[in-house]
Every structure is written in structure tokens, then in C-alpha cells.
Amino acid sequence: MNKMRFVGPVLAALAVMVLLAGCGAAAPRQAGVVAAAAPAPALDTAQKALAPAGATLGSQHSGDLLAWLSSKPAQPVRGAAKMDAYLVGTDGKPVTDAKVTFDTDMTNMSHGPYLVPADPAGNGHYMGEVHFSMPGPWRVIAIVERPGRETAKLRFEFTVKFN
């Protein structure tokens, strides 16, 4: 009989815990939605065929410019990484007249302005060494300046692992 007296309070406590858990789970989801960038436009089959060999961190597309970003090591970890932006026109010709800068930051906190000029490495590749000070979600915006063209900003998001 005494047991029955506890059922009410126990159920009430469980209900509160479920509500709290619900709120806790909902908050990060909402934040994630707000922080997410506009999805990159998907490349068509012909465009995908222009991808560089090997693993990349993603592709981007702006007008008639296609870009892939890759890293050495292929999975970026805390510390230095050699980032390689590969630029090619939708006509299949590598872009060799660009000035490329990597604008690098975390997406869940800002570490302040961090711009690394990428050196032309030939055949549409532009390379720069970037330092990732923390593991977590990062983005590199490849700023692509070309004579007689509007500046393109191509955003790549990826995770930097602890090691």
C-alpha cells in the first residue's frame, strides 16, 4: 500500500526528466540548423569527372568555376596541413590565372581573421599551409581572384581531428 504513494511523485519526476532531456536535445539541433551553410550545388556527371585524383574535402561550384579542396594529410588533424585548391572551368580547362587565398576559421567559434595566400602549383592547383589550432568543425573559404572577373568565394566545411 505504501508503494502506491510513491507512484505519483515518481511519474511526475520522470515526466520532468523527459521534458528536460527533450529541451536539451532540441537546443543543439536548432543551433546546427542556424549555423549550417547553404548546401553546395551538386555537380553533374560531367563536372564530377573533372575532379582531381584522390580524396578531397569536397567540391564547390560558382558560375563556370569548379573547385575541389584537398589536404595533406588527407584527413586534417590538429597542427599544420597543406591545403590544395584545384580550380577548373566547366569547359574542363584548369584555371591558371587566379590569385587564391585561404580564409580559414572554425565554424562553432571564431579564432579571428586568418588568411593564407596559396601559391600556384601548376595545372590548376593552388597550395598553402594552414595551421589548425584545435580539433573540431572548420571551414576554408577559397577566395579566387582572376583578372577581369568577379571574385569567387568557395566555402568548404570539414572536421579537423584531434590527431
Q: Which spans of this chain sit near Cu ion (rule: CB under 5 A)?
A: 106, 109, 134
Instruction: Report the nearest approach of Cu ion to the CB of residue 160 (Å).
Output: 9
Side-chain-side CA neighbours of 22 within 13 Å: the count stands at 6
Least gap, CB of 149 to Cu ion (angstroms): 33
Q: Which is nearer to Cu ion, 30 or 110 (CB)?
A: 110
User: Taking Cα atoms as reference points, which of 115, 139, 138, 144 lies closest to residue 128?
Assistant: 115
Least separation, in Å, of the C-beta of 133 and Cu ion? 7
Indicate if the alpha-carbon torsion angle 115, 116, 119, 122 is positive or negative. negative
Of all residues in the shown chain, the one whose CB is closest to Cu ion is 134
Output the CA–CA distances (angstroms, integers) from residue 72 to 65, 95, 97, 131, in the order listed: 23, 21, 24, 12
**CB-nearer residue toward Cu ion: 105 or 149:** 105
**Residue 55 CB, nearest approach to Cu ion (Å):** 24
Judged by beta carbon, residue 126 or residue 156, the one nearer Cu ion is: 156
- C-beta of 86 vs 156, nearer to Cu ion: 156
As a residue count, the chain comes to: 163
- Residue 75 Cα to chain centre, angstroms: 12
